[in-house]
Amino acid sequence: MDTNEPAGTAVTPIHLNNRHPAVDFLCQADEQLATLIGLVGDLSITPSSNPFESLAMSIISQQLSAKAAATIKSRVRLVLPSITPDSVLAADEEAIRQCGVSYPKIRYIRDLSSKVLASELSLDELHNLDDSVLIKQLTSVKGIGTWTAEMFLIFALGRPDVMSLGDAGLQRAAKWLHGLEDRPDGNYLGHVAPAWAPYRSFASLYLWRSIDLGFVDSGLSVEACLPSHP
């Protein structure tokens, strides 16, 4: 693997609309979700052509607001125009720290770089590994937990059937969507998400969007959010 070049190849955006088989499946599988999909409309995601950069930036973004993360990542790109394992390990640590990246996160992205260079995490083989094996490899890197690995699979790789049970927003949105009673374990997804397989990632995109659009916190049911509702 040539670690001085971005890993991966040209990617094709995923457009979720009423012509996509996953959308048709989800609408048939879950009436409530079908209503939400109608409310949200079309969605698109574009997988990453550079998985290493995506992972490094995911680590840098952890526990930051979207605005703060964007600012810090733009500064890092000025210091490291080409974000590769070699460039991260060769970079001056203080220069990265001055971008706003904490010392622990610098250690994490350096650990990621070392594991890629040692072939403990083979970015060339990502698309040949199933979700569970890939998550196990990713979480062997310091600073990459299960949630970060799951988000990488969904947004950087475009994997269609990842279910992030540890995502509090998804759990909250699932509870709202189906009007579920409080559960001691807080696992509302475990009750409704099995019906969404093998497209649970795509269902998650609609749930996240329902939060962004204010539906989940509106106090209204998904049906009551329809424009035609009195």
- What is this structure's pTM? 0.88
pLDDT tens-digit readout, 178-228: 999 999 999 999 999 999 999 999 999 999 999 999 999 999 999 999 886
Q: Encoding tokens for residue 226?
A: 């329809």
pLDDT category at 152 given cuts 50, 70, 90 is very high
Contact 95, 79 (CB under 8 A): yes
Q: What percentage of the chain exceeds 70 in pLDDT?
A: 94
Listed residue (86, 105, 88) closest to 4, CA to CA? 86
Residue 2: pLDDT above 90?
no
Q: Is the pLDDT of residue 8 over 80?
A: no
CA 156 to chain centre: 7
Which tokens is 5 given?
Answer: 């070049």
Per-residue pLDDT, 161: 97
The mean of the pLDDT values for the chain is 92
pLDDT of 122: 82
Q: Does domain 14-46+163-225 have CATH number 1.10.1670.40?
A: yes
Return the half-sphere exposure (C-beta side, CA atoms, 13 A cut-off) of residue 131. 18
Which tens digits make up the pLDDT trace of 108-139? 999 999 999 998 888 888 888 999 999 999 99
Please, which pLDDT band fits residue 5 given cuts at 50, 70 and 90? Answer: very low
Q: Are 112 and 56 in contact (CB under 8 A)?
A: yes
> What residue segments make up the domains of the chain, in order of their start?
14-46+163-225, 51-156
Mean pLDDT, residues 7-21: 82
Q: What is the pLDDT of residues 74-89, one digit of tens each?
A: 999 999 989 999 999 9
Do 51-156 and 14-46+163-225 fall under one CATH topology? no
Residue 86 buriedness (CB in 10 A; 0-12 / 13-18 / 19+): middle
pLDDT at position 70 over 80: yes
CATH topology of domain 51-156: Endonuclease III; domain 1 (1.10.340)
